[in-house]
Amino acid sequence: MRMELGFSQHQAIRQIQTLSPQMYMSMEILCLNSLDLEERIDTELENNETLELTEKTKSEELPGSEAPVASEPVQEPAESFEKHFEDWQDYSREEYATSRSVSSYAGDKDEKLEALSNTEGRPTSLQEHLEEELHLLDRSEFEHILGKVTDEELSQITDLCVDIVYNIDNRGYLMYSLEEIQSSLESKPSLVALGKALRLVQSLDPPGVGGRDLKECLLLQLHRDKQQYPVEESIIRDHLEELGHNRLPKIAKALGISMEEVKEAVETIVSLNPLPGKLFGGEAASFVKPDVIVDEVEGHYEVRVDFDYLPRLQIAPHYRDLYKTSRKNPELKQYLKKKLDSAEWLLAAVRQRQATLRRIAQELVDIQKDFLDHGVSHLKPLKMVEVAERVGVHVSTISRAISGKYMQTSRGILSMKTFFTGGASKSDGTTEARGSVIQRIKELVANEDKANPLSDIDIVKRLAESNIKLSRRTVTKYREAESIASSRERRSY
């Protein structure tokens, strides 16, 4: 068989769906929460000179009023623009945006700087805290822990302490053995010197820091107290796994002591901190700004989209006029058309976002009114497709609209995803929301006999009495998701 290679042409009809720039921007704006939207508008203001700020109208300042973010432009005398355009050709867009940002927002500079200065700084990490605490120790404190040391030993041990500190993880545990740390250091210190350095680090706060595992961490905390804890130490050293599974009778039998003595020792152990490093570092609390505000008015709920945080925008009239009179300069006309189109698409996208978000939020509030009135036990099962049908949009629009958005309600500030939940079947053919079922399980566990707690099978039977059908596996999944211990571990002796 002979095959020839060559070029050929043929025609074919294909249907391809592409997104216009307007639709792409509209979807992008819809996905943004209030804080991201504010940042996006600020960026557009800096980069698009055809946009300008405008003052609020009196109607917008009235309580409860809802108005579009952008207002129609008021005609002003056109200004000559050719000089500016020539300058743009000489300078990059970034340079222009920077100069415009400085000049146009001089009045806002102090407010932004003040907000920045009032922003909470990065939390101190555990390693930073330990190193700072280490450098505050004087010679007497070193010798109180390690005994007499020479100046050379003091310097060496201090350096080794810093090395050990940065081998401690965020839980407060030493991640590597002393042999591994020794091999990683160029100075190759002795294990004796490293042991002294570790002992010094373990004397720092928080108590328990520098332990190589949970047992050592807890024992370090017990040893801080001058009182003796022989039973507690025995339980930690030899019966920590039994304690984790609440097998107190087995511990009492193994140690040859009474249940009362075991329970007293357990109270002491429970008061210790298994993760001392978690007291430091971590992420700063994130700031949540609700996009939607729900007000109760005469027994029903009204929704309004918060827009006070957004700048009021309009397209500068003299740029429109300049575009109309720029026929003799095609390059300028093309540049202005691109900027004006981008500005109009942005204003339209923001208006559409506000309107779509309001319609969706109102449907959610209407459907879940009982939840807002009475709490999570009255949350109804709800899928995005149901809301999409009622609002008259595609389900993907619902997903984009609620992504990262929050609603301020009488029940607190809630993620809009809270209103969507799966459900469990009831004997009458209806369904009950997952959140409501979990709340019922929590109530059953809270009211159980602690000496004879409910097993997962018992919970299934109790739910069946309320016409809720769940398998034991599903009850176990819900219980574990809520960090509720098993019946054996919940039992009180």
Same domain, 182 and 230: no
Categorize the per-residue pLDDT at 84 as very low, low, confident or very high, splitting at 50, 70 and 90: very low
Asked, for residue 479, whether it belongs to a domain, the answer is yes
Cβ-contact 286, 131 below 8 angstroms: no
What would the mean pLDDT of 224-234 be, rounded to a whole number? 87
Asked, for residue 76, whether it belongs to a domain, the answer is no
> Are β-strands 412-415 and 406-409 bridged in parallel, bridged antiparallel, or unpaired?
antiparallel
* Closest C-alpha among 121, 430, 149 to residue 283: 121
Interval 23-33: pLDDT, tens: 777 788 888 88
Domain boundary among 201, 231, 255: 201
Burial 183-205 (b: 16+ CB within 10 A, else e): eeeeeebeeebbebbbebbbbbe
Cβ-contact 199, 192 below 8 angstroms: no
pLDDT above 70: residue 93: no
Asked, for residue 474, whether it belongs to a domain, the answer is yes
Residue 477's pLDDT is 85
Tokens found for residue 101: 């940002």
To which residue do tokens 């995005």 refer?
384
Residue 153's pLDDT is 82
Asked, for residue 154, whether it belongs to a domain, the answer is yes
Same domain, 191 and 143: yes
Categorize the per-residue pLDDT at 96 as very low, low, confident or very high, splitting at 50, 70 and 90: very low
Interval 256-295: pLDDT, tens: 889 888 888 889 998 999 999 888 866 655 677 888 899 8
Categorize the per-residue pLDDT at 64 as very low, low, confident or very high, splitting at 50, 70 and 90: very low
Residue 284's pLDDT is 58
Asked, for residue 73, whether it belongs to a domain, the answer is no
Same domain, 145 and 190: yes
Residue 396's pLDDT is 87
Asked, for residue 96, whether it belongs to a domain, the answer is no
Residue 436 backbone phi and psi in degrees, to 5:
-65, -40
- Residue 429: left (phi > 0), alpha (psi -120 to 50), or beta? left
Quick check: pTM over 0.75? no
Same domain, 223 and 266: yes
Interval 443-466: pLDDT, tens: 888 888 888 888 888 888 888 887
Rounded CA separation 334/326 (Å) = 9
Interval 178-202: pLDDT, tens: 899 888 888 888 898 888 889 899 9
Same domain, 197 and 218: no
Residue 423's pLDDT is 62
Contacts of 202 (CB under 8 A, 6+ apart): 209, 210, 211, 220
Asked, for residue 305, whether it belongs to a domain, the answer is no
The residue type of 117 is: S
Share of the chain above pLDDT 90, in %: 6
pLDDT above 60: residue 74: no
Domain boundary among 252, 279, 306: 279
* Closest C-alpha among 406, 354, 344, 320 to residue 25: 344
Interval 111-149: pLDDT, tens: 545 544 555 556 788 888 888 888 888 888 888 888 887
Residue 130: which domain range? 126-201
CATH of the domain at 468: 1.10.10.60
The residue type of 416 is: M
Same domain, 426 and 469: yes
Higher per-residue confidence, 353 vs 319 = 353
Rounded CA separation 245/106 (Å) = 64
Total tally of structural domains belonging to the chain = 3
Categorize the per-residue pLDDT at 378 as very low, low, confident or very high, splitting at 50, 70 and 90: confident
Share of the chain above pLDDT 70, in %: 78
Domain boundary among 169, 201, 233: 201
How many CA atoms lie less than 13 Å away from 312 in the CB half-sphere?
13
Residue 85's pLDDT is 44
* Closest C-alpha among 478, 488, 476, 473 to residue 439: 478
Asked, for residue 190, whether it belongs to a domain, the answer is yes
Residue 219's pLDDT is 92
Residue 216's pLDDT is 92
Categorize the per-residue pLDDT at 383 as very low, low, confident or very high, splitting at 50, 70 and 90: confident
